[in-house]
């Protein structure tokens, strides 16, 4: 399991004079096999104020990569320098990353980026802000789709880093189509989850919260996740529902609307840390997991619940189909009746051991770390 506050600082010696040149002279596989390169992992400065899938991905890789001979640790810019560092791995598409990339390149350090991004015209029309602001955002998206060379901080970031590591082929296609990124500068790294989630005891969650046979909706509470429309769709069904998560800062009003739309069968539970046995137990105890947001890439909660074979109801938008294929039901986030019918049908289905086995074998954090390591090899060559 992932422990948020575990320090990721393997106590290994730094490279001495001349060793760095020798490292690059070695065959790439032997470089990582000998555990020599040191990689800094970094998200945005406010990443842990409202942690989501991107932050969990960063923390989990920080724990899995050392097992593959990579000295990976979280970068604390207020106390760490770049001395002895061979690569920097950034998470998320943030304008603040541009300064990090420029500083690293001045020191000859390559930078890779997990963009964790998805682009859709409908998102521009739903974003927070005034109607004119949303129309401007939609116009910018249309211009970007027609003119991939159009300047922006995002395009500058994607072309500045040495390698982009999206979580899916669909995301990779967007990077090429909307920003003109060449295919050889993209290395797809699937997201992961902890296979140990499949061994959780469902009774732990039931005993602690007193709810059973429930539909689980897990994730940060914000308009993109679409909890409000889901709750309105489920009114009158008398189905026990657990909404698990905290409001994203700035979206407290949306959380209040969700509470107002909930009937007496809905239970709101604050976010659980990924090392909390109650979270794994929640996945084991639920009758199905629902993510009916506007998109998922692919949705960490879906991977985690799928590790135990839970029936899944997921959004059409994003890249979930690449991961779950026919083993999930896909809904349009604006279609209340479709969401309602899909959830009611999923509740009656048994768990899917074939799905659980496939996810455990192909989408563990160890598998994600191995694909990440391949990306490091590309830039270390």
Give the CATH architecture of domain 19-192+364-380: 3-Layer(aba) Sandwich (3.40)
Q: How far is CA 347 from CA 163, 187, 214, 296, in A?
A: 42, 37, 8, 21
Residue 273 binned pLDDT confidence (cut-offs 50, 70, 90): confident
Same CATH topology for 19-192+364-380 and 195-362: the answer is yes
pLDDT attached to residue 46: 72
Residue 73 has pLDDT above 90, yes or no: yes
pLDDT attached to residue 148: 77
Give me the mean pLDDT over the 62-86 stretch: 91
C-alpha to C-alpha distance for 250 and 247, rounded to whole angstroms: 8
Q: Which residues contact 324 (CB under 8 A, 6 or more apart)?
A: 298, 302, 306, 312, 314, 355
Beta strands per DSSP E along the chain:
38-42, 71-74, 87-91, 111-114, 163-164, 215-218, 241-244, 266-269, 288-290, 312-315, 329-331
Among 29-33, 302-306, 369-373, the minimum mean pLDDT is found in 29-33
Inter-axis angle of helices 227-234 and 252-261, nearest 10: 10
Q: Which residues contact 158 (CB under 8 A, 6 or more apart)?
A: 93, 113, 115, 164, 175, 179, 181
The 10s digit of each residue's pLDDT in 94-108 is 999 999 999 999 999
Selected from 3.40.50.2000, 1.10.287.3510, 3.90.950.10, 3.40.50.300, the CATH number assigned to the domain covering 195-362 reads 3.40.50.2000
- The residue extents of the domains of the chain are 19-192+364-380, 195-362
């Amino acid at each position: 399991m992932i422990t948020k506050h575990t320090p990721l600082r393997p106590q290994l010696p730094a490279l001495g004079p001349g060793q760095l040149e020798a490292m690059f002279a070695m065959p790439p596989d032997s470089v990582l096999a000998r555990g020599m390169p040191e990689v800094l992992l970094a998200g945005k400065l406010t990443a842990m104020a409202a942690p989501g899938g991107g932050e969990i991905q960063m923390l989990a890789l920080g724990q899995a990569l050392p097992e593959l001979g990579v000295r990976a640790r979280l970068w604390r810019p207020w106390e760490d320098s770049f001395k002895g560092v061979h690569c920097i791995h950034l998470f998320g598409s943030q304008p603040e990353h541009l300064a990090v990339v420029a500083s690293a390149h001045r020191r000859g350090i390559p930078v890779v980026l997990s963009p964790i991004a998805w682009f859709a015209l409908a998102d521009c029309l739903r974003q927070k802000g005034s109607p004119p602001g949303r129309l401007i955002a939609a116009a910018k998206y249309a211009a970007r789709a027609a003119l991939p060379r159009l300047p922006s901080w995002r395009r500058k970031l994607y072309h500045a880093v040495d390698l982009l590591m999206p979580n899916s082929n669909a995301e990779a296609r967007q990077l090429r189509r909307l920003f003109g990124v060449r295919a050889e500068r993209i290395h797809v790294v699937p997201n992961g989850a902890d296979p140990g989630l499949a061994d959780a005891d469902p009774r732990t969650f039931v005993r602690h919260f007193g709810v059973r046979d429930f539909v689980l909706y897990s994730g940060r509470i914000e308009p993109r996740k679409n909890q409000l429309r889901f709750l309105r769709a489920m009114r009158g069904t008398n189905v026990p529902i657990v909404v698990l998560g905290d409001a994203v800062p700035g979206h407290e009003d949306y959380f209040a609307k969700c509470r107002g739309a909930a009937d007496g069968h809905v239970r709101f539970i604050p976010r659980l840390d990924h090392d909390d046995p109650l979270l794994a137990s929640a996945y084991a105890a639920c009758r199905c997991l629902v993510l009916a947001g506007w998109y998922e890439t692919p949705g960490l909660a879906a991977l985690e619940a799928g590790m135990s074979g839970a029936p899944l109801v997921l959004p059409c938008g994003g890249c979930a189909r690449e991961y779950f294929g026919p083993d999930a039901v896909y809904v349009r986030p604006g279609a209340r009746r479709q969401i309602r019918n899909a959830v009611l049908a999923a509740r009656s289905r048994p768990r899917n051991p074939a799905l659980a086995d496939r996810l455990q074998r192909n989408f563990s954090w160890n598998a994600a770390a191995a694909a990440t390591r391949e990306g490091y090899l590309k830039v270390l060559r």
